[in-house]
Structure 1
Amino acid sequence: MERMTATDAQTHWMSAKIPNDQFLLFGFVGVRAPLERVAADLERRASAIADLRLRVREVPVALDHPYWVSAPVGADQVRIHRGVSDWDGCLADLAGRMADQLDTTSRAWRVHLYDAVQAVPGADGATTVAVLQIAHALGDGSRATRIARELFDSRPITTPENASPVRSFDIGSTAMAGLGLARLPLQLVSLVRRGRRAHLAHRDLERDIATGELAEPRPGGPRAPINAAPGERRELRVVLTSARRLHDLGGSVTVGALVVIGQALASHLSPRPDTDLRAEVTIAKPGPARARNHFRNAGVDLHVDETDPTRRATAIRDDLDAARRRTDHHLTEAESAAMRSVPAALLAWGVRSFDTAVVPELVTGHTVVSSVHRGAADLTLGGGQVCLTAGFPALSPVQSLTHGVHGIGDTVAISITASPDVVTDLDGYRDRVVEALG
């Protein structure tokens, strides 16, 4: 058993309000084994991965955080989807399945397999597509990537450095609730102490901003047409490029992608009087991970009013670096420590009280950009070799267009997730991304 951290419990509970399953896509060329054998091999391999042998057990009336408990891998967790012949059909089928979110009290992940997919970008011939659908509470993008690499690696399983072992003992829900009640007095005392430390750390941050040691975060920007409730339908697109090309555009893959996305987004929303388009970018927290989700989001100005590409890239990089320096401030750890002391019932009440129908006038980002490098292009499946990877960040009540930037080897995919109810010309937007890549 493993008690969820406050951060992961909040992520788990929030999934009922805003679906947040992650979908990690991998394409493999040269797969020789029948898909049924591939599925059976994946089931056996998953059974040896600690993080894939877990499900959630809730504590009655949220008297404590939920627990991760041991769960055997089921045959229904690897699903074969036939009748999909080409890449566009594969993405359309996957988009339709995104509404079927995981019930983590039963299963925290599943794999979707598509065989002999034609016209996959960057692939020569038929491609087998495997998509790992995984609960966000089980891990952020970096941890989910490590899990996926274990699942699609031909080498023997090794336990990740920060993976929690699956212990064999278990206790009942009543005992879990009792433990939650027993720790409540100490939590309240700790919350007061850590809350004061967080307050003092916040004052330190304000002082560091006032003295110019840290840059002040930019205020949120007014909503754009894409900042509307997305509804339930999804559409997906993927544009392939190279890490080298993005480095040329921005000095790094992430900055290069932000340059491209900013240019495409400004063109797509034109004519528009405002030029303060922003992206909400995921940034890793400093220090060792105390939770499975070890990141925070920051707003980064896309500087679309800057006509010189070099100066635009520099301005975006400066904003991103400033956001990372603020994340590295000791306030981040102080806030995380205070969060760990919030009683579970109070945290659950806060999530239940969150009203997704309330639309703010200002948004941190007009779109989301999640950038994760998934390592060397040495993953295998059924004797085939990986040729691309992609990912599709979830939409939110105020963000109906999101982007994933995922690389394997030198190949990088800029993935686009959108609501067709809000973004009515996704092909046109994809073409603008291609044009911005040059």
Structure 2
Amino acid sequence: MNVRPAIERMAGIDAGFLYMETPSVHMHTLKIAILEADDALTYDAFVAGLLARLKRLPPLRRRVVEVPFGLNHPVWVTQPRIDVPHHIRRHRVGGPHGAGGMRELEQLIGMIASTPLHRDRPLWELHYCEGLDGGRVAVVGKMHHALADGAAANALLANVTDVRSAATPEAVQEEYAVTDRLPGRIDLLRHAWADAAAQVGSLPGLLRRTLIGILGVLRERRAGARSPLPVVHAPRVSFNGALTPLRSFATVTLSLPELKRIRAQHDGVTLNDLVLATVSGALRRWLADHDERPASSLLAGVPVSADERDAVPRLGGNRVSNLFTTLATDVDDPVERLRTIARTTSDAKRIQARLGTSILADWSQFTPPRPFAAAVRAYSRLNAASWHPAAFSAIVSNVPGPREPATVGGARLADLFSVGPLVDGIGLNVTVWSYVDRMNFSLLACPDLLPDVHVLASYFPAALAELDLAPPATAPTLRRDPA
């Protein structure tokens, strides 16, 4: 097995998530694991188990070191130890006697999401939340997007869970050298110049690929492919505007077999299309509640993986692109709304394929760190996101999660939720992670823009039901704990 160096240049796309961060825009993701009660599961046992697996979780030992004068992207430095009290924190849900429900946990998660991660340590925290009803425990992982995207987070999860199937492949392992010594200024500057010089050599090829991609997009559009243009086609709604630091969080669980059954009723529709249509139906109800009736449809920014189909699982970094599609909220009929989403998303995928899924990551290598970060901070400080229509309306992503039951330290993993960050101007993120037979929708919002995210979450079951052409006599329901 190859051993990766202890000090590595951060990829431009990873560094971009650092540059996008401001006091009101936090670029961390959340992963929430609900564990069943188990006598062997204690806080001390959990910490000991995590430390025992730390070698298999290299991103948790990597911290950011900036390059003097911002001459190049920062470097990752892998250290041999972590500061346990800083990174692993303990909470009790529902007061001193416990018995807290999902609503109380969601309130705590909103508070956890509202504070940034410290740059002088590895960019993650684990929050061990005791006191849930039934003796359950929730573990809330808070990880900076610069460390890992959804695909890498899935691989990390495989390194902390155990499954019963002998057919399941071995958990991913990745060897890193470690160092106690941070690089000095002279070393950082020397390597920054050397890496920049090597990087310049890739520019002619990138320009050529970009030109070919743009010409391909123009051909697709002439052939009739249509996808909405961000900013140009996004209407103004109340949850688009300048963010504040506060976050609120809500979840809703739908049945994966039920979604698959409904999808089979609609030709040419993918599970992702059905997810988008469910989000759309819920947002239509929410907009009606708030007397908002935009003349044009809301748009979704959809993160998509740029990994090769059979790529070896990786434990860190980002290989993502984005496509923009309609949510068809201006279409009254739910079935026609789904068809419109499916057609538009299919066109958007073809256009993105023409441009190339790696173009964003390739060009981000040439982002000038200091000017870009300064421009983002100034934009946020001036609340400039409120001056113009948002680039799009909401972030919606769907990441396939574990397909069979898992355990963590012997305790059964009962449920799994995930949500990505908000970006300035976009006050709602809906992230879907599947776990076994469940589709878990997690909603993260800025409460100063969208104050009742729990109400929005409550509309998702009805939004899915209206797409069902042949509802069963008694529709199956999954857990939704009482408030």
Unmatched tracts of structure 2, length 5 or more: 1-6, 264-268, 466-483
Q: Tell me if 1:410 matches 2:416.
A: no
**Alpha-carbon spacing, 1:335–1:238, altered in 2? closer, same or farther (3 Å):** closer
Distance 2:169 2:54 in 1: 9
Q: Tell me if 1:49 matches 2:54.
A: no
Which residue matches 2:338? 313
Question: May I ask how many residue pairs the two structures share in their alignment?
Answer: 426
Match of 1:235 among 239, 248, 251: 248
CA contact 1:102–1:109 (8 Å) conserved in 2? yes
Which residue matches 2:151? 142
Q: Tell me if 1:329 matches 2:354.
A: yes
Q: Tell me if 1:427 matches 2:454.
A: yes
Distance 1:275 1:390 in 2: 31
Distance 2:84 2:270 in 1: 41
Which residue matches 2:266? none
Which residue matches 2:384? 358
CA contact 2:60–2:122 (8 Å) conserved in 1? no
Distance 1:299 1:192 in 2: 28
Distance 2:233 2:294 in 1: 17
Q: Tell me if 1:106 matches 2:127.
A: no
Deviation, structure 1 residue 276: 0.8
Distance 2:163 2:356 in 1: 42
Q: Tell me if 1:19 matches 2:19.
A: no
CA contact 1:247–1:253 (8 Å) conserved in 2? yes
Distance 2:171 2:120 in 1: 24
Which residue matches 2:192? 180
Distance 1:47 1:331 in 2: 35
Which residue matches 2:15? 9
Deviation, structure 1 residue 189: 5.1
Query: 1:367-389 CA deviation, whole Å, 9 max, x = no partner?
Result: 11121121124321242211211
Aligned CA RMSD, in angstroms, stands at 2.7
Deviation, structure 1 residue 274: 1.8
CA contact 1:278–1:366 (8 Å) conserved in 2? yes
**Partner of 2:162: helix, strand, or coil?**
coil
258-267 or 196-205, which deviates more = 196-205
CA contact 1:249–1:313 (8 Å) conserved in 2? no
Query: 1:27-75 CA deviation, whole Å, 9 max, x = no partner?
Result: 1113222222122212222343222221112111122221111122332
Which residue matches 1:303? 328
CA contact 1:230–1:397 (8 Å) conserved in 2? yes
**Alpha-carbon spacing, 1:204–1:273, altered in 2? closer, same or farther (3 Å):** closer
**Partner of 1:281: helix, strand, or coil?**
strand
Distance 1:104 1:378 in 2: 35
CA contact 1:49–1:157 (8 Å) conserved in 2? no
**Alpha-carbon spacing, 1:305–1:44, altered in 2? closer, same or farther (3 Å):** same
Match of 1:267 among 282, 285, 292: 285
Distance 2:38 2:249 in 1: 24
Q: Tell me if 1:279 matches 2:300.
A: yes
**Partner of 1:181: helix, strand, or coil?**
helix
Deviation, structure 1 residue 245: 2.2
Q: Tell me if 1:380 matches 2:407.
A: yes
CA contact 1:150–1:157 (8 Å) conserved in 2? no
Distance 1:264 1:303 in 2: 12
Following superposition, which runs of at least 4 residues in structure 1 exceed 6 angstroms of deviation?
154-157
Deviation, structure 1 residue 173: 3.4
Which residue matches 2:222? 210
146-155 or 263-272, which deviates more = 146-155
CA contact 2:280–2:329 (8 Å) conserved in 1? yes
Which residue matches 1:348? 370
Distance 1:434 1:190 in 2: 49
Which amino acid in 2 is paired with 1:201?
Answer: G
**Partner of 1:137: helix, strand, or coil?**
coil
**Partner of 1:307: helix, strand, or coil?**
coil
Match of 2:43 among 18, 32, 35: 35
**Alpha-carbon spacing, 1:95–1:362, altered in 2? closer, same or farther (3 Å):** same
| Structural mapping, 1:145-184, within 5 Å | 145-153=154-162, 160=172, 163=174, 165-168=175-178, 171-184=183-196
CA contact 1:56–1:68 (8 Å) conserved in 2? yes
**Alpha-carbon spacing, 1:275–1:431, altered in 2? closer, same or farther (3 Å):** farther
Unmatched tracts of structure 1, length 5 or more: 119-124
Distance 2:76 2:171 in 1: 17
TM-score (norm 2): 0.80
Distance 1:99 1:197 in 2: 40
Which residue matches 1:121? none
Deviation, structure 1 residue 24: 0.3
Query: 1:147-185 CA deviation, whole Å, 9 max, x = no partner?
Result: 123123379996637x5x312467433212112123444
Deviation, structure 1 residue 266: 1.1
TM-score (norm 1): 0.88
Which amino acid in 2 is paired with 1:376?
Answer: R
Deviation, structure 1 residue 254: 2.5
Distance 1:157 1:114 in 2: 30
